[in-house]
Structure formats: structure tokens, C-alpha cells
Chain A
Amino acid sequence: MTADQQPGDPRADAVLKNLPADKLDALWLLRHPEDETESVRSYDEIVAMLPDVCGVSASRSAVWEFYRWLSLKRRWDQTAQTAAQVRLELLKDESIDPARIEAVAQSIFTAEALEGGNVKAYVELAKVRLKGIEIEQAGRKIKLLEDKARRLDEIEAKAKELTAGGGLSAETLDVIEKQLKLL
């Protein structure tokens, strides 16, 4: 807190960081002009320009810290937007579990923020992985059904064998039939 600030006043750098989006963009352009003919402003120049551009004041060190923050913020905002776009694309496929889509969007944000990368490839890879999981689950279901069918056949064969040999009562046969129906 500076000598001029009162308790509860925003910090100098917080004042800059809480500016609306259009002011943040304007400040960004002062250090990263899109027009090549424009010069990159120094921090001292920006300190002098702040009251006119944004209606606030800040020290040189606060401005320096602010631009480090703004650089990171712009990159991560772009990354978040990319991950959100992938989320939207995947949500179009109603067969995919929304929880899995959230997990994919999160992993894309993390990977992009850390390393950068090919988002289109992420989307395709995510779809393939999610479809692969569905195929695997379907395969397990089929195996369960096959196992059940085999047990049914075994039980039926045993029942016939016992019936042929006179070894089963009518009541026992009844129980076995009910069990087969449950299977």
C-alpha cells in the first residue's frame, strides 16, 4: 500500500487488472501495436498516458507487473476459448457422456497452456478415444451375454440328463426352470 492509499483502496496493480476488457486491449496495444508504423511505448510513457487512456494512475513498477500479468492472461484466455470450442464441438455428439467431454476440455486447456499444440488433432483424438471406450464397453457386454448363454446351455443339458435318468422331481424341475428364466 502506498502513502496515498487508504485501507480498502484497491492496490495500484489491482486497479489496472480490474479495468474493463476494452481498456486492457488498449493498454496491450501500447506495447504490442498491430500497426507496424506505430512505436512500442516504454513503461515511462505508459505511466504518463494512463490518466488519459484509462482514467487511473499507477507507478512504473505496477505497470511493469501489470504487463507481465496481461501477457499471461491473454494467452490463457485464448487457451480457455480453444478448450471451450472443443467442448462445444464434442457436445454436438449426443452419444458422448458430458462428464467425459468436460474431462477432455480440461485436459486440452492444461496441455495447450503448458505446451501449445494442434487443437484439431486433440478433437479428433478425443473422439477416437471416446469411441474406443464405447467399443470396449460393448465388447464386455457381449462377452457377459455369451458367458450367460453358455451357462444356460450347461444347466439345460444337466437338467435333461437328470430328467432322463429319473433323478429330478417335478418340483426341482420347476425351480430350475425359474432359475433359467432369471438368467
Chain B
Amino acid sequence: MAEELSIGTGRKAVREVLALAPGFWKSLRLLRRGVEELTGARVANDDLRAWIEWNVAEGYVTHRVNAEAEEHEWNITRDGLAKESVK
């Protein structure tokens, strides 16, 4: 696998992965798997959480707790989808 991602690339990769199958939420594990597949890079959980939290703070990503699975999950917002359409 390639080396680590830059912060900007990581933040963008989080949005891109969450924009896929938008009707379903993604757990941390699934999100990490998606980012690694998308980028070909190995992703550390701490880095991934930081990229997620930045996107949540900017309003591009939203969060919930899945009570049944006892997991945190994330999904893209409309602003996040719009961000992915242009730069």
C-alpha cells in the first residue's frame, strides 16, 4: 500500500466515501476500509477520526449512534455532496 495521506486528501477521501450509497450510514471500520480502497493508502484510526471531525465541524458530514450495533456512524450532508461536485 502507498504511504500516508495528506490532511487535505484524507478529508476529501472521507467525503467521497460517505457520498457513496448515501441512503446508508457508515461505521468507522467501513469508512476506513472505503478510504483505503479509494486511495490505496493505509489509514490510521486517529487520522481518520480527525478527518471525520473536521468534516463534521464544517457541516459536510453528519453523525449518529447506532443503538442496535452500538457503534458511531456517519453520512454525507447536502453541503458535503455540493463540496464534492466543484472546487
Binding site for B on A (CB under 8 A): 1, 8-11, 14, 17-18, 68-69, 71-73, 76-77, 79-80, 83-84, 103, 105-107, 109-110, 113-114
Contact = CB atoms under 8 A, between A and B. Distances in A.
A14 B87 contact: yes
Nearest to A79: B21
B69 A73 contact: no
B85 A10 contact: yes
A80 B30 CA distance: 14
B21 A11 contact: no
A82 to B, nearest CB: 11
Contacts of B87: 1, 9-11, 14
Contacts, number: 63
A14 B87 CA distance: 9
Tell me what chain B mostly uses at the interface: helix, strand, loop, or mixed: mixed
A11 B24 contact: no
B25 interface: yes
A128 B87 CA distance: 48
Contact of A106 (B24, B29, B39, B40): B24
A18 B82 CA distance: 11
B21 A106 contact: no
A72 B27 contact: no
B17 interface: yes
B86 A80 contact: no
26 contacts: A10-B87, A11-B86, A11-B87, A14-B84, A14-B85, A14-B87, A18-B85, A68-B37, A68-B40, A69-B16, A69-B38, A72-B20, A72-B38, A73-B20, A77-B20, A83-B24, A103-B66, A103-B68, A106-B25, A106-B69, A107-B69, A110-B24, A110-B26, A110-B30, A113-B30, A113-B34
